[in-house]
Structure 1
Amino acid sequence: MNIIKFKATKNDEGRTLFKCLIKQLDNVPISVIEKLFRIKDIKINGKKTNNKSYSLIAGDEVIVYGIKDSQTKVLYSTPIKFRIIYEDKNILVIDKPINVSMHGFVDCLDNQVLTYLNYQHSDSFKPASIGRLDRSTSGLVIYAKTYQALVQLNEKINKIEKYYLLKSDFPWNKKEVTFYGRKNIKTHRMELFNKKPGIKMQTIFFIDDNKKYAKILTGKKHQIRLSLSYLGFPIYGDKKYSGRFDKRVYLHSYKVIFHSLEKELEYLNDTQFVCDIKW
């Protein structure tokens, strides 16, 4: 039986011991981790514990007994297809190409980012995106490089202004719409309604310099695509939502602006990142 020993880092701080071990020992069944707590086969700073809710502090020494091959160093080597827009110690902003999934595939964007960052499994944190884009959508994606950045950006996600460039026949110089989405159990597809109940989807569509944009006020899956299809002006190339056939879905995450960030991310307030595209 192996003895696993590690020190909690700043990325672990604030996590419970249980959640930290699930992340650290990600190839060990949760039932086995539960058993370790039951039999007190875990030590914190030299003392045995079964306190799953213990909140870790950077520097805490954790020792786990009786685990085989559990602390695998994961090295990613996925070909990188994205373009870097901005990077510092807290965040990475990239331009995602079309036809790249965010998660779930060997060549997904997550694995590309982990390859670029030369990520190796050293604590309970793994760099992660703030929100997501559809496979067919290109443009700006924000990744948090620290646990503290991830927590704050997810908490403040509605304070991040997000603009999309698109192609559609909609005629409005400016139009704000609010719909409520519900999944049709029979068709397994989302449907929109003007009234509750449902998931609120609020979007502003506008035209500037003969280009068409959407600003999302709520970030829900397929929000822009669903709304324009419902209004009778689907995005070009969006066959899923009645758009005419084209070489791609003409939807691109164009600009983000940060607001209301605090502490270690305060320096990003009012910063905007733009990722233009030529169609």
Structure 2
Amino acid sequence: MKKILCKAQLEREYKGMSLLAFLRLQCTDISVKSLKSAIDTKLCTVNGIVERFSTHPLKIGDVVILYQPQTLHPKHLEILYQDEHLLICNKPAMLISDMRSLQPLLKDRWLLGHRLDKETSGALIFVKNKLILQKLIALFKEHSVEKFYLALVDGQVLQEERKIDKPIAKLKNYQGQSLYGVATKPGAKRAVTLWRCLKRSKTASLLLCQPMTGRTHQLRVHLSYMGYPILGDTLYAKHFFCRTSVIRHLLHAYILRFPNPISHQIITVKAKIPEDFKECLKELKMTHAI
């Protein structure tokens, strides 16, 4: 469970005060820099909704909660598969997919086989050398690597399954992040996603998604375009119908299936669902969806 550092309700005397100013009064033992960082990294909610703008004006009666940051660097990565050429681990959310962050968590030296977004958890492939990396890249290009993601999305999805075939392009930079979207402008690349609804509640749905192409932010863009953004994905949605409070986008690389680039035997791994994801499923009474 997320640990609460501070919980306070705005009284009349503080009407119109910014979120950061209010937190400075409530959390006198925490530096302004740390408070700003907490807001930026989705650790603050106003009335149960994540607020990422420190300048957000508060109203009388608003309930502000500040959560304790989770440890970003575990002592080791959970191993899902390993042989002399390949290593597949279960990456925690909030860990950047680069070797500077990941190598200290591995016993031996490996190369990163592909990437997951910082907030995305799940199965991540490493390779032993550049030759194996080239073979793995070839498998990706041939669409021989099957990837299945769990996405907890906002809203009640009524369809059972669907194929999204919409091109994606980079649109702009937003708050230091690259923002992608469905577009037909020059440079847009074809993107195809298959999804199936596993469970739905009145306010959220659990989808099993299979990206048939590997575009940046593909699932996040396609699901937002469909009208069902991933819960916690504040880059692609500003408001959520579901009131469940989350501090990162709930996307999990659940299953990987591909031929071993050396032996050609099929490798299938399933990454255990992280605790924050399970907590949300439990809160939404969707625990038995998978």
Same fold (TM > 0.5): yes
Which of 114, 137, 160 is residue 145 of structure 2 equivalent to?
160
Q: CA deviation at 1:189?
A: 2.5
Which of 90, 101, 104 is residue 112 of structure 1 equivalent to?
104
Match of 2:253 in 1: 253
* Equivalent-residue separation in structure 1 for 2:251 and 2:77 (angstroms): 17
Kept after mapping to 2: 8 A contact 1:102/1:134? yes
Q: Residues 40-96 of structure 1: CA distance to partner in whole angstroms, max 9, x if unpaired?
A: xxxxxxxxxxxxxxxxxxxxxxxxxxxxxxxxxxxxxx8634211111101001000
Q: CA deviation at 1:229?
A: 1.0
Kept after mapping to 1: 8 A contact 2:168/2:215? no
Match of 1:137 in 2: 120
Match of 2:264 in 1: 266
Kept after mapping to 2: 8 A contact 1:237/1:248? yes
* Equivalent-residue separation in structure 2 for 1:85 and 1:200 (angstroms): 31
Consecutive unaligned residues in structure 2, runs of 5 or more: 1-72, 201-205, 280-290
Q: CA deviation at 1:240?
A: 0.9
2:158 match: secondary structure: coil
Q: Does 1:84 align with 2:69?
A: no
Question: What is the RMSD of the two structures over their aligned residues, measured on CA atoms?
Answer: 2.4
* Equivalent-residue separation in structure 2 for 1:173 and 1:163 (angstroms): 16
* Equivalent-residue separation in structure 2 for 1:143 and 1:185 (angstroms): 31
Give the letter for the 1:249 counterpart.
Answer: H
Q: Does 1:219 align with 2:199?
A: no
Task: Spell out the pairing of 1:1-279 with structure 2 (5 A cutoff).
Answer: 80-103=75-98, 106=100, 108-109=101-102, 111-113=103-105, 115-117=106-108, 119=109, 127-157=110-140, 158-168=143-153, 169=155, 170-185=157-172, 189-193=179-183, 198-208=188-198, 211-242=206-237, 244=240, 246-259=246-259, 264-267=262-265, 269=266, 271-277=267-273, 278-279=278-279
2:166 match: secondary structure: strand
TM-score (norm 1): 0.60
* Equivalent-residue separation in structure 1 for 2:107 and 2:111 (angstroms): 13
1:153 match: secondary structure: helix
1:200 match: secondary structure: coil
Kept after mapping to 1: 8 A contact 2:121/2:253? yes
* Equivalent-residue separation in structure 1 for 2:264 and 2:128 (angstroms): 16
Change in 2 beyond 3 A, CA 1:186/1:94:
closer
Larger Rg, first or second structure (1 or 2): 1
Kept after mapping to 2: 8 A contact 1:87/1:93? yes
Change in 2 beyond 3 A, CA 1:175/1:272:
same
% identical aligned pairs: 25
Give the letter for the 2:123 counterpart.
Answer: L
Consecutive unaligned residues in structure 1, runs of 5 or more: 1-77, 120-126
1:249 match: secondary structure: coil
1:224 match: secondary structure: helix
* Equivalent-residue separation in structure 2 for 1:102 and 1:146 (angstroms): 17
Q: CA deviation at 1:191?
A: 2.3
Give the letter for the 2:183 counterpart.
Answer: F
Larger mean Cα displacement after TM superposition, 246-255 or 178-187: 178-187
Kept after mapping to 2: 8 A contact 1:178/1:194? no
- Relative contact order: is structure 1 or structure 2 higher (C-alpha 8 Å, sep ≥ 6)? 2
Q: CA deviation at 1:197?
A: 5.0
* Equivalent-residue separation in structure 2 for 1:138 and 1:213 (angstroms): 14
